[in-house]
Structure 1
Amino acid sequence: MTLLAAITSSAANPAAGGGPVAHPIVLTPGAAPPPPTSSALPTPIPPSAWTLAPADPTLPKAASFLAASLTSCSSLPRLRTLLNSFFAALSQSLSLPPPPPALPAATRALAPYFPAALASLVASKAASFAEFDVIFALAESRRLPHPPADLISTLSDNDRADLVCSVLRQAADLRSSEILAALCFFLSPGTNKAYDAMMRVKGRWKDAAVLAVQKCREKGPGKMKVDAAARQAALLLMMGHDGFSSPEVCLHYLFASGNVDSVVLGAAVAELNGGEVVRLMRYLNKWIGKYQRFPEAQACPEAVGMLGLEQCDSVPSFGAVIRALGVLLDNHFSHLVLSTEVREELMAAEVMVRQLAVEAESSGPILDLLRRLQHDK
């Protein structure tokens, strides 16, 4: 029996083959194969048939109306009405849930969709009406990377140290006038209310340090990475808390910012008076002593992500401290050298910097060797 006869016979009598055949193969000599049931490539759509849904004009109109209305807004109730109207239009245009009735809560809920250009205008107008809850909601949501020029000075005049720290923490660029306003506010608190606000900021650092220590003591599976981050965070928070006064803790937010240019900082530092220069020198000297005592301290971004300890991002690095000290000496060297009350601290800072420089120089060959070994691997 030929192969063709065997196949056709098996297809005709499935029982003879020992069982049913689900998909019999039938070969017909000379017949064309059947067409495929579906094409491998999709049917092309001509470009003339492409269409886009029309953009919703509601949101641009609402944003333009809010920006234009803020310039002429002259009362706090009017500001609240404008913001509530814009938030309702924003939620409707983006198919979001209705905003909460409270204005600060609505600001936090819609902050990810809030235009950055409008956030600066809203913050400026809210500061003029002392609507600080809205400013805090915007700053907490990181919607003020470019704060208005008068915001820090207005917050300082109203003794809102917590808001000044929040704005400094996220600012992408700072003008010399803003840096000067923050320096004068922290180095020379004018009222007891301002000092009390700075004490509350330091209290949050203490709470964060206690939380980091508690995380270090927790035991359980998979805790090695968290424990290492908690230990590093506890060290950083201890360095930033112990030995610093409440106004000095607030200074951390300014010098920890990586967006403060040395030239702009120098223009602000040059305007400080003698007492403020001495206090700033002592503040920077404390940091040099901390890094000399704890050279293993380094930035710990994991502490913010895993543990929620945002204060760890506001610890000035050793490089930032040295740059600030250099700027201070460049602008006020004569005053610092001739001042009897700071001369000893200046000499102590010189000794510590020299020791750290010698240690860094001696560690250079070892670091080069380690890099070469890692590269060879």
Structure 2
Amino acid sequence: VQRLLWDIGGQLIFGTSTVKQIRNSHSYIKDMDDEQQLYHQSGSFVRFLSSWSSTKSLLSERIAQLARDIAKNDFWKWKEVDIMDAWIADLESVGYKFPSIVSSSSLSSSPSSSSIIRKRAAVCVTGLVECIQEAWAPTHDTIRNLVQGEIDTFLFLSSSLKQGPVPHNVRMSQTRSYLKSTTIILYEDRIIDPEIPSNCSTHYHPPMDKSHVIPYYQQLWGLAECFDLVKEYEQKMNIRYELFIRARPDSILNNTLQKIVLPSNSSILIPNENHFGGVNDRFAIGSISTMKKYMRRWHELKHCYIRNIHAETFLKLLLNQFGINIKLETDFSYPQVEHGKGLCH
């Protein structure tokens, strides 16, 4: 539905559920069997829909074509295509008029500045699915009080950590049911390549445990993806954010700052703690144009102009490379919640 709405200039809005289901472990297992495609093909189906296009001039023709292409790619059975054809025929038989296709030039044309929606901040929360109620919920409230304006929150979290002090299904449920978010994306880690050239001699100083390197790359990739998600949302919804905030779900923001003051548009506020030889790599506030460099540093690894890629050091060197002013803020701290049995982290 969402893919076809794009072609008629429509938007899909999700509301909270109006139905409460009471289920046990047996019904969950049955649902997983019944919804096998949902659990195993969602990613490939989304990628297929995002890349799909049609030259048909009528919406009814595009619906029929999309149904056939879905079946050809093994996401549907052909009987579902027959049902879709019958549905279109029923609508036409009662005189239903399908909406007109909106040309791509009309969709991509720049809206007038008067129609742009101005918002105070976009917040990207990246990391693992954990501590949503214990750490992120109070941090969200603190951020809202701090920025003093309308914010949108984007949770872009890895669901790959199956073991932990809190069962995986509980952590997933808490995240999915968190209502103070604009978008929630839960993904599984995949094989990623920073494309660092073979002749680029990189090192980690201070030393990083080898077991931390791949998770570190996953975190950098997640930051870049979350930023791109915000920019896509900003474009499609005709929104402009004044500030961009990077946060994690496993830490609690303690704030005594009364007001956000950036020395310049090229400044970033970072907690004056946990430097580890560089600058804090857990929380930051800046203009969205400046935070682009911070968030998309994953794409800078392949250029090899910074060879020390230890997390906090690489961040400091990168920001200096782009002439970004780092303001170390002592009026807020962002400590991780404690690790351990019976705790969320």
TM-score of the alignment, normalized to the shorter chain, above 0.5: no
Q: What TM-score does the superposition give when structure 2 sets the normalisation length?
A: 0.24
Higher strand share: 2
Higher helix share: 1
Q: What TM-score does the superposition give when structure 1 sets the normalisation length?
A: 0.22
Q: Which protein, 1 or 2, shows the higher relative CO under an 8 Å CA cutoff with sep ≥ 6?
A: 2
